[in-house]
């Protein structure tokens, strides 16, 4: 990929109304007065600086992620979208997604976001059952979530929502039941994540104190298998390990990451991959919101890392991202990135044990049997 090929812009909004006990995303609760307009000025500056380094791109997708971007004033989203359009060309059919929490207060802003140029929302429903929702520390009820999903479906051309499963105390039958409701509520795209215990979270402490009864490995595997079966039968097959869509409704922005494309990261803690002079740069911005703001206002960008990736690192990243996809990876692209082919011995071994397969078009993918041990398969192939 070079200049003039499509790329995505990720915009990170780092604030949340409360910190959920399972979440290790770069999200912060701010107390006291907050001047959103002046905070947004730093986004505009950082977009300008990034466009100077990576000019002439065609923006195919924009993603407001968080944190909770639905806490933003729609005017802020509009100002950021305008800055992107002033600094790069934005494709007529660009996908513009905003992550939203499904409280009633946030749902009231949906129309404002659509007027600002957002055409897709992704809602963090997390559970369609009241008790787990409360345990996940969510600030919305099941009814709020269902109402927000329906409202989003009526306002935006495309929408999706997230559910977390393999939660403490969840049975296979209970998940089957909840998944049936989630599918009935969905419209073209659904993200279904198995709960991960992340270090540094309250769930991590509870888990290590023996206070969270997580499903066994076998039960998690059964839940995963059931999820694949039910979603495929409903017409929303997995196109990525945790993401399901009616064909054609996949998240184009996330496909930029998984297909190892080029993207700019804007905002506190945002990561980017920019191709500059034929070299792939891995960028990362300062995570703390107000430190990031100060740095951008002083120097023009919030970068704390800007590393040239080695060929090996590019090859590894391509495997880590691409093997999550049902379409798999192109061994020729791996060779072009890593400047060496995949190891034939490893491929044969993983094929013999049924964890990977080649497709008629020559691509290589992880089988359904291999998906539950995806990380180990990737590590083996990258070795």
Q: Which residues bind ligand SF4 (CB under 6 A)?
A: 16, 19-20, 23, 25, 27, 66-68, 101, 124
Give the sign of the dihedral formed by CA 115, CA 118, CA 119, CA 120: negative
For residue 134, what are the contacts with CB-CB under 8 A and spacing of at least 6?
A: none
Nearest-approach distance from CB 205 to ligand SAM, in angstroms: 14
Q: Which of residues 208-237 bind ligand SAM (CB under 6 A)?
A: none
Considering CB distances under 5 to 8 angstroms, the limit depending on partner class, which of ligand SF4, ligand SAM, none binds residue 164? ligand SAM
Going by their DSSP bridges, the two strands 120-126 and 89-100 should be labelled as: parallel
Site for ligand SAM in 126-185 (CB under 6 A): 126, 162, 164
Residue 121 near residue 151 (C-beta atoms within 8 A): no
CA distance 219 to 361: 35
The site partner of 19 among ligand SAM, ligand SF4, none (C-beta below 5 to 8 Å per kind) is: ligand SF4
Is residue 193 at the binding interface for ligand SAM, with CB under 6 A as the rule? yes
Which of ligand SF4, ligand SAM, none does residue 193 bind to, with CB < 5 to 8 Å depending on kind? ligand SAM
> Between residues 54 and 121, which has the closer beta carbon with respect to ligand SAM?
121
Q: Report if residue 205 touches ligand SAM, rule: CB under 6 A.
A: no
Tally of CB atoms within 10 A around 31: 6
Nearest CB to ligand SF4, comparing residues 22 and 110 = 22
Of ligand SF4, ligand SAM, none, which one sits near residue 198, judging by CB under 5 to 8 A according to partner kind?
Answer: ligand SAM
How many chain residues bind ligand SAM (CB under 6 A)? 16
281 - beta bridge partners? Answer: 274, 308
Residues 48-87 that bind ligand SAM (CB under 6 A): 65-66, 68
Closer to ligand SF4 at the Cβ: 50 or 97?
Answer: 97
Q: Concatenate the DSSP letters of all residues of 140-204 into one string.
A: S-HHHHHHHHHHHHHHSSEEEEEEEES-TT--HHHHHHHHHHHHHH--SEEEEEE----TTSHHH
Please report, as residue ranges, which positions from 255 to 314 form the binding site for ligand SAM (by CB under 6 A).
none
Closest to ligand SF4 by CB, 68 or 170 = 68
Q: Using CB under 6 A, which of the segments 82-90, 191-199, 266-274, 319-327 binds ligand SAM?
A: 191-199
Among 7, 13, 15, 22, the residue binding ligand SAM under the rule CB under 6 A is: 22
Q: Which of 7, 13, 15, 23 binds ligand SAM (CB under 6 A)?
A: 23
**With the C-alpha atoms ordered 142, 144, 148, 154, is the resulting torsion angle positive or negative?**
positive
Task: Rule CB under 6 A: say whether 204 interacts with ligand SAM.
Answer: no
Closest to ligand SF4 by CB, 49 or 270: 270
Closest separation in Å from C-beta 58 to ligand SAM: 26
122 C-beta neighbours (distance < 10 Å), count = 24
Contacts of 314 by beta carbon, 8 Å cutoff, 6+ apart: 280, 337, 338
Six token digits for residue 270:
């945002």
Decide which of ligand SF4, ligand SAM, none touches 234; Cβ closer than 5 to 8 Å per partner kind.
none
Q: Tell me how far, at minimum, the Cβ of 247 lies from ligand SAM, in Å.
A: 23
Q: What are phi and psi of 198, to 5 degrees?
A: -95, 140
Helices (H), the chain: 36-53, 74-87, 104-107, 110-116, 130-135, 142-155, 172-185, 202-208, 217-234, 252-258, 289-299, 311-322, 331-338, 344-352, 374-382
Query: Closest distance between ligand SF4 and the C-beta of residue 205, in Å?
Result: 16
* Shortest Å, Cβ 234 to ligand SAM: 19
Quick one: which of 50, 76, 87, 101 contacts ligand SAM (CB under 6 A)? 101
* H helix or E strand, kind and range, residue 273: strand 271-276
Buried b (16+ CB within 10 A) or exposed e, 327-355: bbbbeeebeebbeeebeeeebeebeeeeb
Residues near ligand SAM (CB under 6 A): 22-23, 25, 65-66, 68, 99, 101, 124, 126, 162, 164, 193, 195-196, 198
């Amino acid at each position: 990929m070079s200049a003039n090929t499509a790329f995505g812009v990720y915009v990170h909004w780092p604030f949340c109304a409360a910190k959920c006990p399972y979440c290790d995303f770069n999200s912060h609760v701010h107390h006291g007065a907050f001047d959103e307009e002046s905070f947004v000025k730093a986004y505009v500056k950082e977009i300008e600086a990034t466009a100077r380094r990576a000019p002439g791109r065609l923006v195919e997708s924009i993603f407001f992620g968080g944190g909770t971007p639905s806490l933003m004033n729609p005017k802020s989203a509009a100002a950021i979208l305008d800055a992107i359009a002033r600094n790069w060309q934005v494709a007529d059919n660009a996908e513009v997604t905003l992550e939203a929490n499904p409280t009633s207060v946030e749902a009231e802003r949906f129309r404002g976001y659509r007027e600002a140029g957002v055409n897709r929302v992704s809602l963090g429903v997390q559970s369609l059952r009241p008790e787990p929702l409360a345990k996940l520390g969510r600030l919305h009820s099941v009814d709020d979530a269902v109402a927000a999903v329906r409202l989003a479906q009526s306002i935006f051309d495309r929408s999706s929502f997230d559910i977390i499963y393999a939660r403490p105390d969840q049975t296979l039958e209970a998940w089957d039941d909840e998944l049936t409701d989630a599918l009935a509520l969905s419209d073209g795209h659904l993200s279904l994540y198995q709960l991960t215990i992340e270090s540094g979270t309250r769930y991590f402490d509870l888990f290590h104190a023996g206070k969270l009864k997580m499903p066994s490995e076998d039960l998690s595997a059964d839940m995963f298998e059931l999820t694949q079966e039910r979603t495929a039968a409903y017409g929303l097959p997995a196109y990525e390990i945790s993401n399901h869509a009616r064909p054609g409704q996949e998240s184009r922005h996330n496909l930029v990451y998984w297909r190892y494309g080029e993207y700019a990261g804007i905002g506190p803690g945002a990561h980017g991959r920019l191709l500059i002079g034929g070299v792939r740069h891995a960028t990362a911005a300062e995570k703390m919101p107000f430190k990031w703001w100060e740095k951008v206002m002083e120097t023009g960008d919030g970068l704390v890392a800007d590393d040239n990736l080695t060929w090996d690192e590019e090859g590894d990243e391509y495997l880590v991202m691409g093997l999550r996809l049902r379409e798999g990876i192109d061994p020729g692209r791996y060779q072009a990135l890593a400047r060496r082919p995949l190891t034939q011995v490893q491929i044969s071994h993983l094929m013999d044990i049924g964890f990977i397969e080649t497709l008629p078009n020559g691509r290589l993918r992880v089988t359904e049997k291999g998906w539950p041990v995806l990380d180990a398969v990737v590590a083996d192939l990258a070795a």
